[in-house]
């Protein structure tokens, strides 16, 4: 089960940024901490399908808000103001918030996020 948890931790916010429906499907799939080869195969197919799907404004906003949850109690007031500004302006065509969340991840050394696919892929775009 540990390897499944690591795989899910890596993919969770990336999945959320593409489809809340698939995110919920995967959570249901992993319920009861029972993981098997069939579930792994289905999971792999869901991930592969999502690789062809772009985030929407709504899904990206939801994912970034979840990522922000790691910072909201440790960041400065100025960082909160910047977050709110970028969030209000966020769209798939105007994404200053993603790189800002990468910056905060690096600044505060949030290990869970450093290992996440969403942060790693945002770093590739920089």
Q: What count of residues does the chain have?
A: 126
pLDDT computed for residue 31 by the predictor: 80
Q: pLDDT by residue (tens digit) across 96-118?
A: 999 999 999 999 999 999 999 99
Taking the C-alpha atoms of residue 32 and residue 21, their distance in angstroms, rounded to an integer, is 19
User: Which pLDDT value is given to residue 32?
Assistant: 77
Six-digit token pair at 103?
């910056």
Neighbours of 75 (CB within 10 A): 17
Q: Distance (Å, rounded) from C-alpha 88 to C-alpha 22?
A: 25
Q: Greater confidence, 2 or 109?
A: 109
In this structure, what is the dihedral angle of CA atoms 93, 97, 49, 12, given to the nearest 10 degrees? Answer: -170
Residue ranges per structural domain of the chain: 2-50, 57-125
Nearest to 118 by CA among 64, 78, 54, 41: 64
pLDDT in tens, 3-60: 888 999 999 999 999 999 999 999 998 887 778 899 999 999 999 999 999 999 999 9
> By the 8 A CB rule, do 55 and 63 touch?
yes
> What is the pLDDT at residue 2?
61
Tens of pLDDT along 56-77? Answer: 999 999 999 999 999 999 999 9
> Taking the model in full, what pTM does it have?
0.93
Indicate whether 123 pLDDT > 70.
yes
């Amino acid at each position: 089960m540990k390897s499944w948890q690591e795989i899910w931790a890596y993919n969770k916010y990336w999945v959320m940024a593409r489809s809340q429906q698939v995110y919920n499907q995967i959570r249901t799939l992993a319920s009861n901490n029972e993981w098997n080869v069939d579930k792994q195969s289905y999971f792999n197919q869901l991930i592969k399908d999502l690789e062809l799907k772009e985030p929407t404004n709504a899904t990206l906003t939801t994912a970034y808000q979840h990522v922000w949850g790691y910072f909201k109690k440790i960041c400065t007031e100025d960082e909160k103001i910047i977050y709110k500004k970028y969030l209000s302006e966020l769209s798939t065509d105007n994404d200053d918030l993603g790189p800002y969340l990468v910056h905060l991840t690096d600044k505060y050394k949030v290990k869970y996020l450093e290992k996440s696919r969403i942060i790693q892929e945002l770093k590739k775009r920089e």
